Chain A
């Protein structure tokens, strides 16, 4: 495997950023999914050799990325949020990094990498004049310039418009199809889903789910969900009508609202319209409760703890 993370923990003082994280990744794209602060950037930083784990070990192409600098001849990294040298043009910066990584013809390699990310026309502009999206593409170009076998991409789609996102995904997908091992982090499931057939989910520094992206998505889809229904009048008749429905796990009444727990929102929608007609209740609004990422991750965390027990 190109990437091996073995029982890795990383502490910052009393704060545990990563706790006993283990997984492997080989050729193709692996998504690293997690909310902000989950430990994604810390993990990528360890794999890039920017820092050392407090416990455990990381290997990239069977090398320790912190100690063995030769790893960088076959490793490309797009760090999160930071730009390249603002006083250089994109061509100068990418050429310089190609030269430092031992590329035979740095100028030609830089031109090819900048063309691959669609920056040929802007290659001779200073990076300080770049928009955020162009900066992201320049960062990807420097990561690709030495044609690495392993790519670590930390939130690479941040700051990109939809067309740029599509282009970035195409570039990464092509590299993966050619045999490159790509580990890409994101806090947005559908972004990862578009790129990665396999995903590792991190919550509060722990791996809470790992496997095929479609499986993780199904897991999330099947979890219990809460729907809030607002009615025009007293909703108790509607609550009674819904209580026996197969899709309903529990119903709570609050003034003019009902909170309904279900594992099948689609079937609940059908039951709800029938129950509303039967109980002559006018519906004012229907909205999901806790559909944010935090609640999804909380569910996965609770599930992981349950399976651990």
Chain B
């Protein structure tokens, strides 16, 4: 886990990481206001998941942390040192993903905890709390996987991530059912909405897939992203 340790420490020391922490902080403030002021607790819970937690906080934090970890290595050319080892390129990609996933989970932990509090406040079943945690963890894994992959393809991966998250995850996927099935946050919603009552499920607005399918999709996104990232790293021409 040497690569993971190097990347994890680098991410935690980056100023960008702590600037990104403003987003979870905002989520906590908004969540707290919903917790204390909402008249319809279920609508507040659904709105927090659908409008803030998955498509913005988890998506942006995970993508930017992962993509930047790779592009920083490329920009500062420390990737040349990772390249002059016999460690398999796939393993380097996997360890980079693990490190950035762990860092992202630290950053989104409190907003996820806020979602759990909102679920309890809405009198949802205890399993809903577990569902929202699992959904957040898997969504973060998928965004990190894609961030690592795109980071190996372009040094502007963080910018592309912002465009993707703001346009696709936040706007486009809300309009069309087809687009919804191609959205990571929508699949996270499918897992989070697994055990809630039909009305709340409607407000969370997941895709037409089951939680099981959503889980498989998110895991597949991670697997395929890392396979392609390892392949890209082994084939790319470094300076």
Contacts and interface: CB of A to CB of B under 8 A. Distances in A.
A72 B237 CA distance: 17
Interface stretch (A81-89, A116-124, A263-271, A288-296): A81-89
Contacts of A93: 81
A72 B85 contact: yes
Given A50-B237, A96-B6, A100-B2, A82 B88 contact: no
Counting chain A CB atoms within 10 Å of each CB, which of B5, B84, B89 scores highest? B84
Interface string A41-65: 1000100111110000000000000
Interface in A261-308: none
A87 B10 contact: yes
B76 A51 contact: no
A110 to B, nearest CB: 12
B76 A82 contact: yes
B78 interface: yes
A50 B238 contact: yes
A231 interface: no
A208 to B, nearest CB: 24
B87 interface: yes
Interface of A: 41, 45, 48-52, 69-73, 75-77, 79, 81-88, 93, 96-97, 99-102, 142
A145 to B, nearest CB: 11
B83 interface: yes
B77 interface: yes
Contact of B88 (A41, A69, A97, A102): A69
A80 B89 CA distance: 23
B86 A85 contact: no
A48 B84 contact: yes
B219 interface: no
A48 B87 CA distance: 15
Q: Which 8 A-B pairs have CB atoms at the shortest separation, nearest pair first?
A: A51-B237, A82-B77, A100-B85, A50-B238, A69-B86, A72-B86, A87-B13, A79-B80
Contacts of A101: 85-86
B196 interface: no
Contacts of A41: 239
Contacts of A142: 81
A88 B77 contact: no
Contact of A51 (B10, B13, B238): B238
Contact of A72 (B3, B9, B77, B84): B84
Given A45-B238, A73-B86, 7 more contacts: A50-B83, A52-B237, A71-B86, A75-B84, A82-B77, A100-B3, A100-B87
Contact of B2 (A52, A70, A76, A96): A96
Contacts of A75: 84
Contacts of B13: 87
B8 to A, nearest CB: 10
A45 B83 CA distance: 11
A69 B87 contact: yes
Contacts of B10: 85, 87
A87 B13 CA distance: 7
A102 B84 CA distance: 12
Contacts of A70: 86
Contacts of B76: 82-83, 86
Contacts of A100: 2-3, 85-87
Nearest to A50: B238
A39 to B, nearest CB: 13
Interface string B56-86: 0000000000000000000011101101111
A97 B238 contact: no
A41 B13 CA distance: 31
A224 to B, nearest CB: 38
5 contacts: A51-B238, A51-B239, A77-B84, A96-B6, A100-B87
B6 A88 contact: yes
B77 A79 contact: yes
Interface string B133-148: 0000000000000000
A102 B5 CA distance: 17
B18 to A, nearest CB: 14
Given A72-B84, A84-B81, A99 B2 contact: yes
